């Protein structure tokens, strides 16, 4: 891959939330999942899990239940019910309309176990970091195949509901959704100056 193609891949990827109706070939879905599976992971335990959720009644029920829970949370936060419902409705449409919806989860099943809470928390963070790296591979692969994608954090707030509705193994911990499809919008996003985020230290302490 030449320099220009590399930077196009890295900088050209955007979180895109509107998609064409066009179906995504299942072979491409497998390719992006394979890219995710090649991410680095703590102890190479590959703690990521993926569930591809087809469009249809099951996805609609899931999106409806998530929206209802979100409305309840927002209203409890003091958001006016009408506004809460409008926000949840947008989220419902995004989840139900995306050509492909993937649940990204983690499992601690193959990770190390520690007797103390401090190291166990670190081990769990390692699994989260591994799954996040798989997520980034997935997003970049999607971009490579001309697809648009967006990571959504909703599953973090409703893991129990998602596991029971989708009848997934109880060790799965939902981390996010990825919506995928051919793009129906363009987005520009900038970044803060890199120098605001980096410190180069002196060799002398």
Ligand X SMILES: Cc1cc2nc3c(=O)[nH]c(=O)nc-3n(C[C@H](O)[C@H](O)[C@H](O)COP(=O)(O)O)c2cc1C
Beta carbon of residue 153, minimum distance to ligand X (angstroms, whole number): 4
Enumerate the β-bridge partners of residue 148.
181
**Partner residues linked to 53 by β-bridges:** 101
- Please list every residue from 162 through 191 that binds ligand X, using CB under 6 A: 187, 189
Closest CA to 161 of 92, 69, 35, 28: 69
Q: Does 192 bind ligand X (CB under 6 A)?
A: no
DSSP assignment, residue 174? E
Residues of this chain, 6-35, that bind ligand X according to CB under 6 A: 14-15, 17
- Chain Cα centroid distance, residue 9: 18
Q: DSSP letters of 172-195?
A: EEEEEEEEEESBSS--------GG
Q: Which is nearer to ligand X, 24 or 148 (CB)?
A: 148
**Which residue among 88, 152, 162, 180 contacts ligand X (CB under 6 A)?**
152
The residue nearest ligand X at its CB is 15
CA-CA distance, 59 to 101, in Å (whole number)? 9
Residue 194 near ligand X by CB under 6 A: no
Cβ 96 to ligand X shortest distance, Å? 15
Specify burial of residue 177 (Cβ count, 10 A radius: 0-12, 13-18, 19+): buried
Shortest reach from residue 105's CB to ligand X, in Å? 14
Distance CA 110, CA 119 (A): 16
* CA separation, residue 103 to residues 77, 89, 108, 151, 201 (Å): 26, 20, 16, 10, 40
Number of residues that bind ligand X (CB under 6 A): 10
Q: Where are the alpha helices (DSSP H) in 47-186?
A: 57-76, 81-97, 117-144, 159-166
**With CB under 6 A as the contact rule, which of the stretches 54-62, 79-87, 144-152, 193-201 interacts with ligand X?**
144-152
Least distance between ligand X and beta carbon 154 (Å): 6
Site string for ligand X, 93-132 (x = CB under 6 A): ----------------------------------------
Stretch that binds ligand X, among 19-27, 33-41, 114-122, 149-157 (CB under 6 A): 149-157
Instruction: Report if residue 150 touches ligand X, rule: CB under 6 A.
Output: yes
> Which residues are near ligand X by CB under 6 A?
14-15, 17, 150-154, 187, 189
């Amino acid at each position: 891959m030449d320099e220009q193609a590399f930077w196009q891949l890295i900088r050209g990827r955007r979180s895109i939330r509107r998609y064409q109706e066009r179906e995504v070939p299942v072979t491409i879905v497998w390719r992006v999942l394979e890219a995710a599976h090649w991410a680095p992971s703590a102890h190479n335990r590959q703690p990521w899990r993926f569930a591809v959720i087809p469009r249809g009644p099951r996805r609609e029920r899931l999106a409806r239940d998530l929206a209802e829970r979100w409305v309840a949370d927002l209203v409890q936060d003091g958001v006016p019910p009408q506004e809460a419902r409008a926000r949840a409705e947008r989220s419902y449409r995004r989840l139900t309309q995306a050509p492909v919806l993937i649940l990204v989860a983690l499992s601690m099943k193959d990770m190390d176990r520690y007797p103390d809470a401090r190291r166990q928390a670190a081990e769990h963070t390692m699994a989260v970091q591994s799954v996040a790296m798989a997520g980034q591979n997935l997003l970049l692969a999607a971009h490579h195949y001309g697809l648009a994608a967006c990571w959504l954090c909703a599953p973090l707030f409703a893991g129990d509901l998602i596991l029971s509705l989708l009848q997934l193994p109880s060790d799965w911990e939902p981390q996010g959704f990825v919506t995928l499809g051919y793009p129906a919008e363009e987005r520009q996003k900038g970044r803060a100056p890199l120098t605001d985020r980096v410190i180069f230290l002196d060799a002398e302490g």
